[in-house]
Amino acid sequence: MSGILAGKVALVTGASSGIGEGIALGLAEAGAAVALCARRADRLEAMARQIEAAGGRALVLAGDVVDAEFAASAVQQTIDHFGQLDILVNSAGIIQMSWVENADLEEYRRVMDVNVMATLYTCRAAIPHMKARGTGDIINITSQAGRKVAPIFNSYSASKHAANALTEGLRREVGEHGVRVSILMPGATQSEVAENMSDEKTKLFMRHHVSKDGVVLPKDIADTVVLMVSLPRRAHISEVTVRPTNDVTG
């Protein structure tokens, strides 16, 4: 497939819906071969068929990146299949309502595992390959919650602050090796993020939040990612927030 990213290979986690799906399709449209990673194999297979029907190349990697062995395997399978890995986008993420007092410890741990540890696992596996080639892009999808705190979403805010710190530390660690590492913080973006929430009242709130008038679309985030990775290697967008134009709350 021709395009500005022709010859590049990308791995996208959380690729079966929402922001991850939009990014994967956007990268493929721009010419990249894309490894699609998420738990829902049926959705990934349908996406792969869509990409291939348009002349692109896709690889389905069904599994949970919270499993460190699977996450590392997904990186290696991408390299083995396509011969290289140029772009890693960590988009897998979940949100739950959680105060600290009376926190559901299993839910809290799951949020941290998906939003922080899974990102660590894929980054850790990708870095040696990218360093050896002297090039690469890692984009970690975090949130505006990584710059402020909502007490009712304590675990989510804590995880996104941690993901931002992990990403910034990694940027400083590998930048001199030609690897660009970036934080991308979406505001309210159309997605299915509410559907796995256990608290029904908060689920209804979140459904409205990500579907109200003027929300960012996954394609908008995808276009931002394509811009970031297509810049000359000397230039690096290390941190970007994409929020709805009508969001003037601060």
pLDDT score at 209: 83
pLDDT score at 191: 85
Q: How far is CA 16 from CA 3, 13, 23, 52, 195, in A?
A: 23, 8, 10, 16, 14
Residue 108 bears catalytic tag: no
Domain ranges of the chain: 9-241
Per-residue pLDDT of the chain (250 residues; tens, 9 = 90+): 679 999 999 999 999 999 999 999 999 999 999 999 999 999 999 999 999 999 999 999 999 999 999 999 999 999 999 999 999 999 999 999 999 999 999 999 999 999 999 999 999 999 999 999 999 999 999 998 888 888 889 999 999 999 999 999 999 999 999 999 999 999 888 888 878 878 888 888 888 888 888 899 999 999 999 999 999 999 999 999 999 998 876 5
pLDDT score at 199: 83
- How many helices (H) and strands (E) the chain has is answered by 8, 7
Burial code (b: 16+ CB inside 10 Å, e: under 16) for 191-224 equals bebbeebeeeebbeebeeebeeeebbebebbbbb
Main-chain dihedrals φ then ψ at residue 141, nearest 5 degrees: -80, 115
Rounded to a whole number, what is the largest CA-CA distance in the chain? 53
Catalytically annotated residue among 23, 156, 218, 222: 156
Q: Among 3.30.1180.20, 3.30.420.40, 3.40.50.300, 3.40.50.720, what is the CATH number of 9-241?
A: 3.40.50.720
For residues 222, 223, 229 and 234, what is the CA-based torsion angle, rounded to 10 degrees?
-150
pLDDT score at 144: 87
pLDDT score at 229: 98
pLDDT score at 151: 87
* Token pair of 162 as six digits: 């941690």
pTM over 0.75: yes
pLDDT score at 198: 85
pLDDT score at 249: 67
